[in-house]
Amino acid sequence: MSVHNPDIKRITTHVIQELKSKGEKISALTAYDYSLARLVDAAGVEIILVGDSASNVMAGHETTLPITLDQMIYHATSVVRAVKRALVVVDLPFGSYQGNSSEALRSAIRIMKESGAHSVKMEGGLEVRESIIRVLSAGVPVMGHLGLTPQSIYKFGTYAVRAKEETEAQKLLEDAKMLEDIGCFAVVLEKIPAALTKQVSESLTIPTIGIGAGPDADGQILVLHDLLGINKEFKPRFLRRYADLHGVITQAIGHYVDDVKDREFPSKEEAY
Ligand code: KIV
């Protein structure tokens, strides 16, 4: 059952900040298309991320690297059309902001102008500081993303838990503080030890949004298709499946195929 508060008309970055201040956990999910974004929004999720995980989930790529800015804008535009309440955050895709801060600004402005989204997300810490500052300077709210940053997967070499070692944990803490200081409104913490999440969340005033980061983040995010159980193969420890849509969908389609073959569908009542 959703705890959707009908008094909140539209979720803004200020509402997200207030939720942390009040100690209320923040719910976030991905969406990439109109139909599912409508359901996610109506169910009361506060943040809808048009994640570059669309590269894996929607296009079947192995990584998030191939998705383009145009493709992200297409997904974001469909989601924005559906959403009445949630804050819509859109990933700046790989290659659209790392080059220099002017490129980052151009990419963020395209997303905001062409999709009507409310904010962008950028992966990384000190390495992308100037780009984030430039985007923020144009009045575009930015969500940071630290820990396992999938756009750097070829640098990491694996999707294993990040920042288990003291030096990496220390850098993550410093990066998180830096993101807060320059004006990010929230930061995603992906696949890091729960104790580190607690430490970061307690030392920041902006909200942390965890995925595979334990219970102490200020909010949680999952990839919608994972939560719905559409993909049976992906089963990391952090994933809780709330439905078995793989079973429901394959059974429904199998039933349809049988009915067509058996001349059971359409019936006389379903004909004109
Ligand atoms: O692209 C994505 O879906 C994400 C979330 C998993 C945080 O970045």
* Domain ranges for the chain: 13-241, 245-272
18 Cα: distance to centroid of ligand 1 (angstroms): 23
The model's pTM? 0.96
Q: Which two tokens stand for residue 122?
A: 């950028």
Catalytic positions, written as ranges = 190
Q: Which two tokens stand for residue 259?
A: 């009915």
Q: Which two tokens stand for residue 116?
A: 């009507």
CA distances from 35 to 32, 42, 74, 75, 271 (A): 9, 11, 14, 12, 27
150 Cα: distance to centroid of ligand 1 (angstroms): 8
Cα–Cα dist 90/71, whole Å: 11
* Ligand 1 atom, smallest distance to 190 CA: 7
Show pLDDT as tens, one digit a residue, over the chain (272 residues).
Answer: 554 555 568 999 999 999 999 999 999 999 999 999 999 999 999 999 999 999 999 999 999 999 999 999 999 999 999 999 999 999 999 999 999 999 999 999 999 999 999 999 999 999 999 999 999 999 999 999 999 999 999 999 999 999 999 999 999 999 999 999 999 999 999 999 999 999 999 999 999 999 999 999 999 999 999 999 999 899 999 999 999 999 999 999 999 999 999 999 999 999 99
Q: Which residue's C-alpha comes closest to atom 2 of ligand 1?
A: 51
Ligand 1, residues at Cβ distance < 6 Å: 30, 49, 51-53, 91, 188, 190, 211, 221, 223
211 Cα: distance to centroid of ligand 1 (angstroms): 8
Cα–Cα dist 267/172, whole Å: 62
Q: Which residue's C-alpha comes closest to atom 1 of ligand 1?
A: 51
Q: Give, in words, the CATH class of 13-241.
A: alpha beta
